[in-house]
Chains A and B, each alone.
Chain A
Amino acid sequence: MLRVCWKGAHAAALTLVWCVCGRKKPTVKCILNMVFLFCRSNAGKIVAASLLTVGGGLGSTILYAKWDPKFRANIEKSVPYSDQLFEMALGPPPPPLVPLQKKPGKIEPLQISSLSEASKESKQPKAKAKKSDPAPVEAPPAVEEMCNSCTSQFVCVCVGEESKDHHEPALKERPAEEVSARLAQQDKVEQDALAALTAGLEESLGSSAKTTLQAIGAQEAVLTAIATHTNKLKEAMDSQTPPDEKSTQWKALNEALSDRTRAMEEAEEALLKAKGELEILRGVINSAKQSKIDAARPQILAAEENLHSMIVDLDKVVTKVQTAQTEAKIMSQYSELVNEAKAQFQQELANITPEIQANWKGLSGKLSADDLNSLIAHAHRRIDQLNRELAEQRVREQIHIEVALEQQKLEDQKALERAVASALEHRREDMRLEQEKKVQEVREVMEAEMRTQLRRQAAAHTDHLRDVLKVQEQELHEEAQEIMNSKMMEQETHYRRLTQEQLDTFTLDMNAAYARLKGIEEAIDSHVIAEEEARKAHQLWLSVEALNYTLKSAGADSPTEPLEGAVGVIKENCAENEFAQALASALPEESLSRGIYGEASLRARFYDIRRLARRVALIDETRNSLYQYFLSYLQSILLFEREQVAPPAKLAPEDLDTFRLLAYATYSIERGDLELAAKFVNQLRGASQRVAQDWLKEARLTLETKQVISLLLAYANAVGLGTTQAP
């Protein structure tokens, strides 16, 4: 793979070079050529293939991430900069899905509210409110209707409670206001029904009364018509009147007859109507009775009475009419008989005297003697016949009378029965009505009495309650008093105990506090001492630190400040500390007056020393001519050795060679061990020694001072540690 890459790179470089060497700018043609060349080679093919794969993988990843956000999130999490790439390619990631509400019941109102909010119309909430409003409104009327169908309040309440049971599991006593409201409502409803009922009753009563009156009037008209007719008939039968008026009489009779028939028809109609109305009234009364409203009872009774009286009147009138009719029938029978007899007589006359017209009027003037004789003979014959009939009649009188009596008896019986039946009916009705009335009265009385009794009972109940409450109050009061007393006693004892405890604890606390105070005072005193010590140690430490700090004031080549000041401070501050004083005075004079060189400068200087020492390595007391100097220089130039050599634990005599020593010293000084280096430098002899003299002195000074200062520091630290109190 690497070779392939290398080959490819090589090829690319070659072509580039060729392009560049062609002295043209890299044109498209040039690049294409390059690519072509690139592609032709095997390496180029492989590289192209790998590029294709990588590109394909990337593209497919991006496409899939576009389709599946979870995948995209995964990739973004795992691959570091993929989120930027995705954002660039696809845009920002889709927001995470909010978990769906698991309460489908609540979704509806949420949607509705959101819709209403979104659309900013108040229709939906209004519709919802409207929908919710009729629902509760429907429930109470249903309950009330149920209540209305009851007679008494308690039943109503029971029903109400039952209906309530359907709604609520627990039974609650309704508040008084609700009950009174309900009662008022019931009363109102009753009143309304009553009013409606009475209105209906009155209406029907009125209409039936009107029709009954009409019927009665019609019947009476019939009576009068019958009476007039009968009179007229009687008059007509009476043959005392002159013939002129007979025709008028007969006309009047006909008129009266037609009147009578008409009147009878009208009466029939009116009767039917009246009967119908009465039936309606009866129906209304029955429905009123079924409605079972107490207050309507007297009205119902009155209506029944009216009905009854109307029926009675109607029946009376009808019986009157019937009697008149029978009388009229008798009269008509009589008139028929008379007419028959007349007709027969006429016929006989006609038989006897056929030429005579059958007209009474022509009869009296145009008769001849024969006619008269035949007429008289006929009349005699007729009289004989009639006498015979009369005798027969007299004989059969009794039988006829008996028969007639029987007939009459039968008719009378029937009439009696009818009358009795109707009277019985009427009596029964009367009795019933009276009974009802009595019942009503008794009921009212009973109601009144029950009310008074209830009132009395209620009063008694309230009295009883009052008494019981009084007694209870008394008992409870006493109980409470007792309890209070006992509690008071308890509290008293408790209080006493507490105060005693308090006193004891207080004395204890006081003692303890006093002891503690004493302890604290001692502790404070010791603290003060310790603090004093600490302060002194601190001061010592500070001054020693100051001294240490002055060491840092060494420049690159210049010495530090003279340590006089700091040492003076130490001497001042730690006058009573002998050790510190001794140490402070142990410092070399030079460091006090002039200061010391820093280690870095000594190090730098050492390399000069080293160079020089190497150069004059051969020079000593015996060899010190200029030639020797030359030789020494030559030696230093030509001698190659390691700059730094680790020094051994023990020095052997061959280690005392200048170069070796210098190597050891270089090593030591490189490791920061100035002391060891100084020791090695101290071993130098001859000119090298002389050359390193000053450096050695300085090094010695520095080392001494540092030693003393470190001692002082250690001492100060120790003292400080000693005085510091552990927390």
Chain B
Amino acid sequence: MSEKELGQKWDRCLADCAVKFGTGLGLGIVFSVVFFKRRTWPIVFGTGLGLGMAYSNCQNDLRSRYVLHSKVAKEQ
């Protein structure tokens, strides 16, 4: 159903966001712990990275309908 599409997109979006957030957080923590002597900025960075990616994905997903797919016509 077309009306479910949006919902599905949002689900995906949120799931993606949660995953990326978690991953970002995790990597941040790892990096913070491993490489940056337990500073907070890698956690935050990683989380932000994750969230940003998620946002971007989400947006792209939601936009996917209206995006014009162009092809470069091969010169013959």
Contacts and interface: CB of A to CB of B under 8 A. Distances in A.
Interface of A: 605, 608-609, 612, 616, 619-621, 624-626, 629, 687, 690-695
A323 to B, nearest CB: 187
Interface in B1-23: 1-3, 5-6
A329 to B, nearest CB: 192
Interface SS of chain B: helix, strand, loop or mixed? Answer: helix
B53 to A, nearest CB: 13
Contact of B63 (A605, A624, A694): A624
B7 to A, nearest CB: 8
B63 A690 contact: no
Contacts of B66: 620-621, 624
A608 B63 contact: no
Given A621-B66, A624-B66, A692 B59 contact: no
A695 B59 contact: no
Contacts of A687: 6
Contacts of A625: 59, 63
Main secondary structure of the interface of A (DSSP, over half): helix
A695 B58 contact: no
Interface string B33-67: 00000000000000000000001001100110110
A608 B7 CA distance: 11
Interface residues of B, number: 12
A687 B3 CA distance: 10
18 contacts: A612-B3, A616-B6, A620-B66, A624-B62, A624-B63, A624-B65, A625-B59, A625-B63, A626-B59, A626-B62, A629-B62, A690-B2, A691-B3, A691-B5, A693-B2, A694-B1, A694-B2, A695-B3
Given A609-B3, A612-B3, A695-B3, A690 B65 contact: yes
A626 B58 contact: yes
A694 B59 contact: no
Which residue among B2, B59, B65 has the maximum number of chain A CB atoms within 10 Å of its CB? Answer: B2
B6 A691 contact: yes
Contacts of B62: 619, 624, 626, 629
Contact of B55 (A616, A619, A626): A626
Contacts of B58: 626
Nearest to A606: B3
B18 to A, nearest CB: 16
Nearest to B7: A612
A624 B6 CA distance: 13
A608 B59 contact: no
B2 A692 contact: yes
B24 to A, nearest CB: 18
B59 to A, nearest CB: 5
Nearest to A609: B3
A605 B3 CA distance: 9
Among B1, B3, B6, B55, the one with the most A-chain Cβ atoms within 10 Å of its Cβ is B3
B64 to A, nearest CB: 9
Contact of B3 (A620, A626, A629, A694): A694
Nearest to A622: B66
B49 to A, nearest CB: 17
Given A624-B66, A625-B63, A608 B55 contact: no
B55 to A, nearest CB: 6
A274 to B, nearest CB: 168
Nearest to B58: A626
A619 B65 CA distance: 11
A612 B66 CA distance: 18
A476 to B, nearest CB: 118
A605 B2 CA distance: 11
B55 A612 contact: no
A697 to B, nearest CB: 9
A695 B3 CA distance: 8
A690 B9 CA distance: 13
Nearest to B13: A626
B10 to A, nearest CB: 9
A621 B67 CA distance: 8
Contacts of A620: 66
Contacts of A692: 2-3
Given A626-B58, A691-B5, 7 more contacts: A619-B62, A620-B66, A621-B66, A687-B6, A690-B65, A692-B2, A694-B2
